[in-house]
Structure 1
């Protein structure tokens, strides 16, 4: 179990960094009007990475037995994930305030990473 868990954590971390990198580059390119940022091949790759990240995260969650009421950092991280998804969709749209959506997405990404590292919904500040 320990080997499987450590490998799953490594894969989850690697996929998370891939997802963050893809969003930063693609989102920034989209903000500046680069047509390649909406290429179907790139979008498919982003979808694949995010799907594998989700499956891996749910597998970790199930193997460890976290509880959303007991492990509040995970609850906060999942709520931030929902907010990130909404803001990222907004950032990649045609709206007038898409730069704000992009910046909020980055802020929520940073929060999710901080919550995962500190295992605290307050990022260890309280």
Structure 2
């Protein structure tokens, strides 16, 4: 498999992960029973595992690692924030307002991750 094929696989899983998170967040806000469907609970884990695997593959292939490449470090830190906020938004938030704020914060983290991936610059406004 070529680097570019792996990169496109990674990008595809990133889009799928973000789109599914957006849909799940909207269902959470609407208090939809769809969140309880089996595929909705399983698919994010499968997609995110493949996304992480492709990310590790890209890092190894390109010899760029968090801690050495500032933009990858920024993506990793933002990913941890995204996961934390996403967990609050979809599972752990005690009130709808807390879940909604966490959802917006997670979406902002996801947008930042995408912007850093495109620009390779952790200071995307610069």
- Residue 95 (structure 1) aligns with: 94
2: CA distance, partners of 1:69 / 1:41: 36
1:84 aligns with 2:85: no
- Residue 112 (structure 2) aligns with: 111
2: CA distance, partners of 1:38 / 1:108: 25
Give 1:70 deviation, angstroms.
Answer: 3.4
* Number of residue-to-residue matches in the alignment: 123
Contact 1:27–1:37 (8 Å) recurs in 2? no
Give 1:106 deviation, angstroms.
Answer: 0.3
- Runs of 4+ more than 6 Å apart: none
**TM-score computed with the length of structure 2 as normaliser:** 0.92
- Residue 42 (structure 2) aligns with: 44
| 3-state SS of paired residue (1:100) | helix
2: CA distance, partners of 1:82 / 1:10: 23
Give 1:91 deviation, angstroms.
Answer: 0.1
- Residue 68 (structure 1) aligns with: 66
Contact 2:66–2:76 (8 Å) recurs in 1? no
Show structure 2 runs of 5+ residues with no match: none
CA RMSD in angstroms comes to 1.2
Contact 2:13–2:51 (8 Å) recurs in 1? yes
2: CA distance, partners of 1:101 / 1:115: 21
